[in-house]
Amino acid sequence: MAKIDIEKILDHARWAPSGDNTQCWRFEIVNDSHFAVHGFDTRKTCVYDYQGRASLIALGALLENIIIAATEQSLAAIVHYREDSKPERPLFDVHLSHAAVQPSSLLPFIRSRSVQRRPYSTENLTIDQIRILTTSLGDTHTLLWFDGLFNRIRMAGMLSAAGKLRLTIPEAYEVHRQVIAWNARFSIDKVPDQAIGLDRISLKLMRHVLASWKRVEFFNTYLAGTLIPRIQLDIIPALRCAGHFMISAHSRPVSVTDYIAAGRAVQRFWLTATQLGLQLQPEMSPLIFSSYASEGMQISSKASAQKQADNILQTMRRLIANDSNFDRIVFMGRVGKADPAVARSTRRPLAQLTTVDKFDTPL
């Protein structure tokens, strides 16, 4: 039997997507066929990581990558969640064993999958493409698909409202200030400014404004400061794509393992889109803000934010109508044909992710 190469598996797996490229995982190699994934979430510092759900979805994507990457060595990866780990520090054991499995057809796309935040072609997806994407979700999740000009306009309206909320609350400002790498095409642990989707001049202005919350408030109050970013980051991309999707769980997700299953389905969907030559951008802010509203949680110290979130929730409910319950939706975004992004987040080297006793995010 060939020796198992765990590092090779982890080297693929670390390319999983995570909110703002947080890479909310560290690895501990226990022996030749067993390693542990130490997860963490950012709920205390990141308004977008509502109850740690975004981090769990990212961890699910990572675990799916592990399972796919293991097939390259004809290995089955069995994942076990340690029920006694803290929800904000979930711990998973992965055991590898030789099995009669063929390398997954999704393996070549683990590395090339990336967010494209620029506009796409509006050419419709074919029925076949939609069927293949739906099938990729397996039997735990279903696809809600919104195409055609009317639906894209409705989505643009909702994303613009979420954009306004995002750009006017201090909690989101703190996140944006910390996660953007300026003057960068690549970043190993942040989002490079050139991957955000703004033109050069707007980027310069944004950098100037984000230097202090006072500047943000001044621009928002007197200079319609949210207008240009909303047009470039929310409205145009929402109109310029083949369509928007939502991924809905068959039953309401509540536990860590439910959100992990969601992340696994999301990753299969995203890798399949890449395999089909399509680009994808998650559009999570309407879903996150709606979740705060739906569960009666305070979103911001700013009083007007709650009403805005309530309105976004109403729009969400109208959009999904009878197709799903709002509380089953786990992910949303847009897809379409476009060139791959030329600027992207890269990843921390494996050596940084395996030094368990030297985490810069203490576990």
Ligand X SMILES: Cc1cc2nc3c(=O)[nH]c(=O)nc-3n(C[C@H](O)[C@H](O)[C@H](O)COP(=O)(O)O)c2cc1C
Binding site for ligand X (CB under 6 A): 17-21, 54, 57-58, 61, 114-115, 117, 191, 281-285, 344-345
Among 124, 96, 101, residue whose Cα is nearest residue 35:
96
Contact indicator for 183, 193 with CB cutoff of 8 Å: yes
Q: What is the DSSP letter of 333?
A: E
- Tell me whether residue 4 or residue 287 sits nearer to ligand X (CB atom): 287
- Tell me whether residue 137 or residue 191 sits nearer to ligand X (CB atom): 191
In degrees and rounded to multiples of 5, residue 97 shows phi and psi of -145, 150
- Tell me whether residue 38 or residue 53 sits nearer to ligand X (CB atom): 53
Least Cβ distance, residue 195 to ligand X (angstroms): 7
Residue type (1 letter), 343: A
Least Cβ distance, residue 16 to ligand X (angstroms): 8
d(C-alpha 309, C-alpha 88), whole Å: 25
Least Cβ distance, residue 173 to ligand X (angstroms): 16
Question: Can you say how many angstroms the Cα of residue 233 is from the centroid of all Cα atoms in its chain?
Answer: 16
H and E: helices and strands count for the chain: 13, 12
Least Cβ distance, residue 334 to ligand X (angstroms): 10
Least Cβ distance, residue 117 to ligand X (angstroms): 5
- Tell me whether residue 95 or residue 337 sits nearer to ligand X (CB atom): 337
DSSP H or E segment with residue 145: strand 141-147
CB-based closest residue to ligand X: 17
- Tell me whether residue 96 or residue 264 sits nearer to ligand X (CB atom): 264
Contacts of 37 (CB under 8 A, 6+ apart): 25, 26, 27, 59, 62, 63, 66, 91, 92, 94
